Amino acid sequence: MSGEPNSPSKKSPAPVVEVRSLLVRYGGAPSPTLEEISFSVPRGSVYALLGRNGAGKSSLVRCLLGQQKATSGACFLFGEDVWKRRASLMSKLGVVPEDPDAPPAMTARQLSAFCAKLYPAWDASSLEARLARFGVPAGTPYGSLSKGQRALVALALALASSPELLVLDDPTLGLDAVARRAFFEELVGELADRGTTVLLTSHDLAGVEHLATHVGFLKDGRLVLDEELEALKGRFRRLRYANEQTEERTEYGQELAAFDAVRVKVRGWGVEAVVSNYGDEEFARFASLDGVVDAEASSLSLEEIFIAIAGETPAGRKS
Amino acid sequence: MKAFAAVFAREVAERRMVFLVGLCCGVPTLVASAFHGWNTPGNADVRLLAASVGGLALAVALALLYGGSMIPGETAEKRISFYFSRPIPAAAIWAGKLLAAVFVSFSAGFLVFLPGWLTGPAGARALWGVDLRAGQAALAGLALVAGCVFAAHAVVTVARLRSPWVALDLLLAPALVLLGLLAVRSIARGSVFGYDGMQTLQVAAMAALAVVGAGLILATFAQVGEGRTDARRAHGAFSATFFGFASAAVAALGGYAFWCASADATDLEQLPRYVTTAPRGSWLYASGSLRGWRGDGAFLFDAASGRSIRVRGVYVVFSQDGTRAAWGEPRFGFFEGKNGRWDLHVADLATGRSSEVELEPGSGGWMVLSPSGRRIAVRKFGSLAAFDVSDAANPKQLAVFPLPEDGRSLGFAGEDTLLLIPRYRNSAHHNDLVSASLEIAEFSLSSKRSRLAGRFERETMPFTRLSADGRFLLGVRRRQDAENTSVLTLHEVPSGAVVATLAEGFVNVQARFLTGNRIAVAGIAGASAKLLFFEGEKGWGAPSRSVDLGPALRIVLGGEIAAGRVAVALLPFEGSPAAAHRASKLSIVDAANGSVVSHADGLVPADRFGWWNSSVLPPAEAGVPWTSLFLDADGRLVRLDPATGSRTVLLGKGK
């Protein structure tokens, strides 16, 4: 996982997804929607692309699916330029769009029959079984289903082709807790069975946290973070301590310089800080500093890390 | 192909109810017909007509609906991503959807039409007067439906995708239409004859439809292939492709129009129509085939300098001094908005410039220039008007005279006097015209008075020509005999009194005034060509010399190529003009001694129609340029040197 583009080489297999210097600019917009984005997704990983509304996630997904041409840069799937080879590459993909786009008049069964003509390994029986598990009627027109049911049908359609890559564009947006849970459970099952590579965007950080192996944060069109989730969570900590002024340290927070603090709050009882470069040895030295009293470090959830980095909740609420 | 079939089948299946609607719509026609009495006269025709109207209406309505919704509608509603996130090539999405729209619309319309057709009149093929076979009708219907699908697609793309490209659409669409019309107008105006212009418009309309159709096919393909789910980019790809293609087509048309319009007289390939020479000077009027589709063109051409002026009219008149020419040009109709009217053009042959004079003559043919070319008389229906065109840009009206009737020719006798003389008629049934048709009227431009100056003795309607000096009229009356011979008489001007009978019993009779107060008369008598010379000093009553030129069925009398020497071509047979021309023999006859010198074969005096076209004969002058101009058998205009017999090709590229 790297922020720099990796050229596909003969020795190492090409990453499933590779984005190189992607720039997307719309008409008269003053700044680009996506600015020089580069990242890659290795085979078997689950890459969660996070960002606020309008951060450019959907534009990035459309470019990744070959549905939209970037202003500059390129996207590669399985080492091939997706803009040029979209049709053939799509046979290896399962896609769940943000907005349901299947023809409203078609039933899930008709959609399955349509897709069966297009995919070489279409598994209609597994689709029917999934729909039965979800409790979604296969004979009801797509447009008559609830939003949650439409998302589940879309997931079932995406999985029925046994894809090598799943692209999920905020699939649980607007779903209730039950539908969201059913969606993620099915996804976890699929990953456990086949190890499919997944790229998903989501606002549901709690749901994503249990799935994702890698995380990318989009902020104002820039990829500000691109990392394995475990590493990310390993280097982010919340530190709490009481601080006594000494001759050497006359300001609060100065002692946190070694941890790359991203947020520092001074409270009545002391200091609370979120740091992005935590290490046990550094923490031991920190705790023994003159003036640092009762120092403790605790882990952060993905949502807490997101808030610390973005300064906002994923949905845009100021923290 | 599998992906295309899947998309096509899906789109058709989703709209399968429309077929049922089509069948249901066809039934009322039969039911209503049954109530009216199934076998009553004309009922079958009514059934067929109702079925046709109903079928067409449903097909067009569906085509507009589906054309507008299938691709641009789904793009605007962001549902087209369903196809693009699946292994379906863009071409399959494009073709599958649009062909499905055409198929469903056409089929539904056909189902409405089917019952009425099956029970309609046996063998009926004609609908609204258009005789179409079933296959042709089906193709025409299919083309109409496809056109509606693509047109609706284009309109909805512009209206719903809401991209800034709409500004370009609104700017370029009318601009290209205007430029295309200008180019077509230029091509159509280049034609001398109106029917060619009309054919050009018809072909242009078909070509425009083809260009728009091809442009829409390419543009919709680019829209789907390049725009995909991006509405702005889809619109951009559509507009750029369509207008790029249409602009290229308009540019090509404009280039073609420019290429056609920039032709000059030297580009004339053959001169099968008219060559009319100026009485003096080296200018002539020539028309013939020109480069370009059904191209023809007419020019004033200076044989001395090679300059030419494009003329968009058939009839050109020259002044007797050869300094001016005038002609009428029809207004084309669009832009000017005055279809069917004519503008008068006057050219100053000394400078080679022409100007448009806003006199609007009733037709292009009935006008005459004064001997100096400074005045022009135009006979419109019901009036005769004379203008001073010394300054062509500012014509001044000199006089207007009411005319009781049509059917007369004009001639200037000097600068101030106009003669209205009986007009050429060549069929016997004009004998019952009133006697007034044979009167000669004289108009004074200075006093603005007119008077009845003379009359012709009425036998049949005469064919008259005025001498350039206004002293004589030559009249030809056709006899009602088996050989269809004519009588040529010399008359005094303006009284019309007969001075002498110059020839009798001639067929194809012609005459020229020669220097030395002489007249040459040519004709065919008894399958033999005759040439008679008359001298005024010896009295006009009998020819001073008669020359028998040998067997011929037609004769063309040229001019006085050298003092006292007249060119004359003999054509051995009739019925095949080209072959007769090739087999013709040119002779130069000396009036003084009657000697005949034969020249190269296949040459005919260029001004062969001058005797028929102009109401005033050229002045008697020897060796002036027009007398040495001839048309060869390959349709080229050549100058013949009478002394050496050498010829120089001036116009035409030959066969």
Span A6-51, pLDDT tens digits: 444 445 567 999 999 999 988 777 888 999 999 999 999 999 999 8
Name the closest residue on chain B to residue A92, using Cα atoms: B87
Q: How confident is the model at residue A187 (pLDDT cuts 50, 70, 90)?
A: confident
pLDDT of residue A2 exceeding 70: no
User: Residue B38: what pLDDT?
Assistant: 63
Indicate the residue type of A86. Answer: R
User: Residue B355: what pLDDT?
Assistant: 81
For β-strands B367-369 and B126-127, DSSP reports them as unpaired
Rounded CA gap, B136 and A115, in Å? 38
The residue behind tokens 């049949």 is B460
For residue B422, the SS3 value is: strand
Rounded to whole angstroms, what are the CA distances from B69 to A104, B47, B77?
A: 14, 33, 10
Indicate the residue type of A292. Answer: V
**Disruptive mutation site among A86, A95, A155, A165 for chain B (greatest number of B CBs within 10 Å):** A86
User: Residue B120: what pLDDT?
Assistant: 65
Q: How confident is the model at residue A163 (pLDDT cuts 50, 70, 90)?
A: very high
Burial degree of A252 (CB within 10 A; 0-12, 13-18, 19+): middle
Q: How many other C-beta atoms lie within 10 A of the C-beta of residue B450?
A: 17
**Disruptive mutation site among A67, A89, A95, A167 for chain B (greatest number of B CBs within 10 Å):** A67
User: Residue B655: what pLDDT?
Assistant: 62
User: Residue B202: what pLDDT?
Assistant: 78
Burial B54-82 (b: 16+ CB within 10 A, else e): bbbebbbebbbbbbbbbbbbbbbeebbbb
pLDDT of residue B43 exceeding 80: no
For residue B21, the SS3 value is: helix
Q: Which residues contact B272 (CB under 8 A, 6 or more apart)?
A: B288, B289, B635
- A138-164 mean pLDDT: 92
Q: Choose among B309, B371, B307, B380: nearest CA to B346.
A: B309
Give the CA dihedral B58, B59, B60, B64, nearest 10 degrees: 100
The residue behind tokens 């079984």 is A129
How high does pLDDT run on average in chain B? 85
What residues in B contact A86, CB-CB < 8 Å?
84, 90
Q: Find residue A93's DSSP bridge partners.
A: A165
**Cis amide bond preceding B494, omega within 30:** yes
- Rg of chain A taking only CA atoms, in angstroms: 22
Give the range among A245-254, B370-379, B440-449, B580-589 with minimum mean pLDDT: A245-254
User: Residue A124: what pLDDT?
Assistant: 94
User: Residue B123: what pLDDT?
Assistant: 52
User: Residue A275: what pLDDT?
Assistant: 92
Rounded CA gap, A75 and B238, in Å? 24
In the DSSP assignment, the letter for residue B70 is I
- Rounded to the nearest 10 degrees, what angle do helices B134-160 and B43-68 cross at? 30
Q: Which residues contact B649 (CB under 8 A, 6 or more apart)?
A: B632, B636, B637, B638
Question: What is the per-residue pLDDT across B445-462, written as a single tens digit (0 to 9) for each?
Answer: 999 998 888 887 766 666
Of B6, B81, B226, the CB nearest to A118: B6
> 234-293 in A: which are within 8 Å (CB) of B?
none
pLDDT of residue A63 exceeding 80: yes
B162 part of contact set with chain A, CB < 8 Å:
no
Rounded CA gap, A181 and A178, in Å? 5
Burial B153-172 (b: 16+ CB within 10 A, else e): bbebbbebbebebeebbeeb
**Disruptive mutation site among B1, B85, B161 for chain A (greatest number of A CBs within 10 Å):** B85
- A50-76 mean pLDDT: 91
Q: Please tell me the distance in Å from A239's CA to the nearest CA on chain B.
A: 46
**Taking CB atoms and an 8 Å limit, are B84 and A67 in contact across chains?**
yes
User: Residue B430: what pLDDT?
Assistant: 47
User: Residue B332: what pLDDT?
Assistant: 63
Q: Are A17 and A244 in contact (CB under 8 A)?
A: no
> 510-539 in B: which are within 8 Å (CB) of A?
none
Q: How many other C-beta atoms lie within 10 A of the C-beta of residue A224?
A: 14
How high does pLDDT run on average in chain A? 86
**Taking CB atoms and an 8 Å limit, are B86 and A88 in contact across chains?**
no
Query: At residue B529, what are phi and psi to the nearest 5 degrees?
Result: -85, 135
User: Residue A38: what pLDDT?
Assistant: 95
Query: At residue B331, what are phi and psi to the nearest 5 degrees?
Result: -75, 145
Give this prediction's pTM.
0.76
Rounded CA gap, B18 and B24, in Å? 10
- B235-244 mean pLDDT: 93
Indicate the residue type of B251. Answer: A
Rounded to whole angstroms, what are the CA distances from A171 to A55, A94, A204?
A: 17, 12, 10
Three-state secondary structure readout of chain A: CCCCCCCCCCCCCCCCEEEEEEEECCCCCCCCCEEEEEEEECCCCEEEEEECCCCCHHHHHHHHCCCCCCCEEEEEECCEECCCCHHHHHHHEEEECCCCCCCCCCEHHHHHHHHHCCCCCCCHHHHHHHHHHHCCCCCCEHHHCCHHHHHHHHHHHHHCCCCCEEEEECCCCCCCHHHHHHHHHHHHHHHHHHCCEEEEECCCHHHHHCCCCEEEEEECCEEEEEEEHHHHHHHCEEEEEEECCCCCCCCCCHHHHHHCEEEEEEECCEEEEEECCCCHHHHHHHHCCCCEEEEEEECCCHHHHHHHHHCECCCCCEC
- B428-453 mean pLDDT: 73
The residue behind tokens 């993909």 is A93
Q: Choose among B60, B59, B100, B97: nearest CA to B75.
A: B97
Q: Which two tokens stand for residue B345?
A: 């053009």
Q: Are B15 and B105 in contact (CB under 8 A)?
A: no
Q: Are B606 and B637 in contact (CB under 8 A)?
A: yes
Burial degree of B217 (CB within 10 A; 0-12, 13-18, 19+): middle
> 67-126 in A: which are within 8 Å (CB) of B?
67-69, 86-91, 93, 95, 97, 99, 101-103, 105-106, 114-115, 117-119
Q: Are B70 and B101 in contact (CB under 8 A)?
A: yes
What residues in B contact A95, CB-CB < 8 Å?
85
Most confident of A76-90, B205-219, B591-605: A76-90
B91 part of contact set with chain A, CB < 8 Å:
no
What are the helix (H) ranges across B69-164? 74-76, 81-84, 90-118, 134-160
- B93-120 mean pLDDT: 90
- A129-157 mean pLDDT: 92
B225 part of contact set with chain A, CB < 8 Å:
no
Q: Are B510 and B618 in contact (CB under 8 A)?
A: no
Q: Are B514 and B591 in contact (CB under 8 A)?
A: yes
Rounded CA gap, B566 and B514, in Å? 9
Q: Which two tokens stand for residue B465?
A: 């020509």
User: Residue B610: what pLDDT?
Assistant: 67
Of A101, A105, A115, the CB nearest to B81: A101
Rounded CA gap, B172 and B189, in Å? 25
Confirm whether the ipTM is greater than 0.90.
Answer: no
**Disruptive mutation site among A58, A68, A142 for chain B (greatest number of B CBs within 10 Å):** A68
Give the range among B100-109, B124-133, B360-369, B553-562 with minimum mean pLDDT: B124-133
Rounded CA gap, B416 and B399, in Å? 11
For residue B349, the SS3 value is: coil
Indicate the residue type of A283. Answer: F
Q: Which two tokens stand for residue B348?
A: 């100053």
Q: How confident is the model at residue B15 (pLDDT cuts 50, 70, 90)?
A: very high
- The angle at the Cα of A45, spanning A41 to A50, to the nearest 5 degrees, equals 65
Q: Are B598 and B586 in contact (CB under 8 A)?
A: yes
Q: How confident is the model at residue B110 (pLDDT cuts 50, 70, 90)?
A: very high
Select the more confidently predicted residue: B4 or B28: B4
Burial B518-544 (b: 16+ CB within 10 A, else e): bbbbbbbbeeebbbbbbbeeeebeebb
Q: How many other C-beta atoms lie within 10 A of the C-beta of residue B99?
A: 17
Question: What is the per-residue pLDDT across B484-510, written as a single tens digit (0 to 9) for each?
Answer: 889 999 999 888 889 999 999 999 899
**Taking CB atoms and an 8 Å limit, are B86 and A69 in contact across chains?**
no
Q: How confident is the model at residue B608 (pLDDT cuts 50, 70, 90)?
A: confident
CA of residue A133 relative to chain centroid, distance = 26
- B197-215 mean pLDDT: 82
User: Residue B116: what pLDDT?
Assistant: 78
Q: Are B436 and B423 in contact (CB under 8 A)?
A: no
Positive/negative CA dihedral, B3, B8, B12, B14? positive
The residue behind tokens 């020497």 is B565
Give the CA dihedral B303, B305, B309, B310, nearest 10 degrees: 60
**Taking CB atoms and an 8 Å limit, are B86 and A118 in contact across chains?**
yes
In the DSSP assignment, the letter for residue B602 is T
Select the more confidently predicted residue: B170 or B50: B170
Q: Are B70 and B97 in contact (CB under 8 A)?
A: yes
> 6-45 in A: which are within 8 Å (CB) of B?
26-28
Q: Which two tokens stand for residue B112?
A: 């409405």
pLDDT of residue B30 exceeding 70: yes
pLDDT of residue B375 exceeding 80: yes
- A183-210 mean pLDDT: 84
Q: Which two tokens stand for residue B31?
A: 């039911």
